[in-house]
Structure 1
Amino acid sequence: MLSKVNFVIADRKAFLKQNPEVDDINKAELFINSEMAWIYQTYLHLYDFSASYSNKPKVGFINIIHANDYVNLKNKSKYYCVTVLADKKVYFPSESNIVQNADMLYNKKYTYLYHWPQKNIKKRDVTKTFSNRLRVAFFGEKENSIDLSFFNNNKIEVIQKKNWIDYSDVDCVIAIRDFKRTFPEKPSTKLVNSWLGDCLFISANDSAYQQIGFPGFDYIKCTSLSDVKENLQFYSDNREQSELIRANSRLKLEFYNEKSVKACWVRFLVEEHYKFGVWGERPRYYKIKSVFLGLVRYNFLRLKRRLFMIMNRY
Structure 2
Amino acid sequence: MPGKINVVGVRDFGRRAARADCFTLIPRGDAHSPMLADFVILQNGVRGDGPRRLSIPHWPQPGILPRDSGRGVRIERLVYKGRRYNLSEEFRSQSFIDSLGALGVSLEVDGFDKLRGEHSWNNYYNADLVLGVRDVTRYDASKKPASKLINAWLAGTPALLGPEPAYRELRRSDLDYIEVFTPNDVLTAIERLQAEPNTYRRMVACGTDRAASYSEAALTRVWIDALAGPVAAAFAAWKRKPRALRLLRYGAGLALEGSSKRIDRVRSRYGPRILSTRALR
TM-score (norm 1): 0.73
Q: Are residue 94 (structure 1) and residue 51 (structure 2) matched?
A: no
Deviation at 1:227, TM superposition (A): 1.2
TM-fit CA distance, 1:187: 0.5
Amino acid at match of 1:290: R
Higher deviation after alignment, 107-116 or 85-94:
85-94
Q: 1:202 to 1:65 in 2, by over 3 A?
A: same
Q: Is residue 129–residue 171 contact of structure 1 (8 Å, CA) maintained in 2?
A: no
Contact 1:80 1:276 in 2 (8 A): yes
Give the TM-score normalised by the residue count of structure 2.
0.81
Between the aligned partners of 1:224 and 1:248, the Cα distance in structure 2 is 24
* Inter-partner Cα distance in structure 1 for 2:207 and 2:31: 29
Match of residue 84, structure 2, among 116, 119, 142: 142
Which residue does the alignment assign to 2:151? 193
Q: CA deviation at 1:94?
A: 1.2
Number of the residue aligned with 1:290: 249
CA distance in 2, matches of 1:180, 1:313: 6
Aligned mate of 2:6, from 60, 63, 66 = 63
Map 1:140-289; keep pairs closer than 5 Å. Answer: 140-146=82-88, 147-148=91-92, 150-151=96-97, 152-154=100-102, 155-162=104-111, 163-178=120-135, 181=138, 183-214=141-172, 216-271=174-229, 272-289=231-248
Contact 2:2 2:22 in 1 (8 A): yes
Counterpart residue identity of residue 80, structure 2: F
Equivalent-residue separation in structure 2 for 1:193 and 1:185 (angstroms): 18
Paired residue total:
256
Gaps of 5+ in 1: 1-57
More deviation in 251-260 or 67-76? 67-76
Pairs within 5 Å for 1:62-141: 62-105=5-48, 107-127=50-70, 131=74, 133-141=75-83
For 2:252 and 2:22, how far apart are their aligned partners in 1?
Answer: 16
The Cα shift of 1:268 comes to 1.0
Find the aligned partners of 2:15 and 2:44 in 1 and give their Cα distance: 24
Work out the CA distance in 1 between the residues paired with 2:31 and 2:222. Answer: 22
Matched residue SS, 1:253: helix
- Percent identity reads 20
Whole-angstrom distance in 1 between the partners of 2:37 and 2:137: 31
**Residue 209 of structure 1, CA deviation:** 0.7
**Residues 297, 103 of structure 1: alpha-carbon distance in 2 compared, 3 angstrom cutoff:** farther
User: Any gaps of 5 or more consecutive residues in structure 2?
Assistant: 112-119, 274-281
Q: CA deviation at 1:93?
A: 3.9
Residue 229 of structure 1: CA displacement? 1.3
Q: How far is the alpha carbon of 1:309 from its aligned partner?
A: 7.8
Distance 1:241 1:309 in 2: 36
**Contact 1:129–1:169 at 8 Å: present in 2 too?**
no
* Structure 1 residue 306 displacement after superposition: 6.4
Q: 1:92 & 1:86 partners in 2: Cα distance?
A: 14
**CA drift at 1:127:** 3.6
Maintained 8 Å contact 1:219/1:245: yes
Query: How far apart are residue 235 of structure 1 and its match?
Result: 1.1
> Alpha carbon RMSD of aligned pairs, Å?
2.6
Residues 82 and 109 in structure 2, CA contact (< 8 A), matched pair in contact too: no
Q: Deviations over 1:92-134 (max 9, x none)?
A: 3411111102224585311101112222211111445755x53
CA distance in 2, matches of 1:75, 1:141: 34
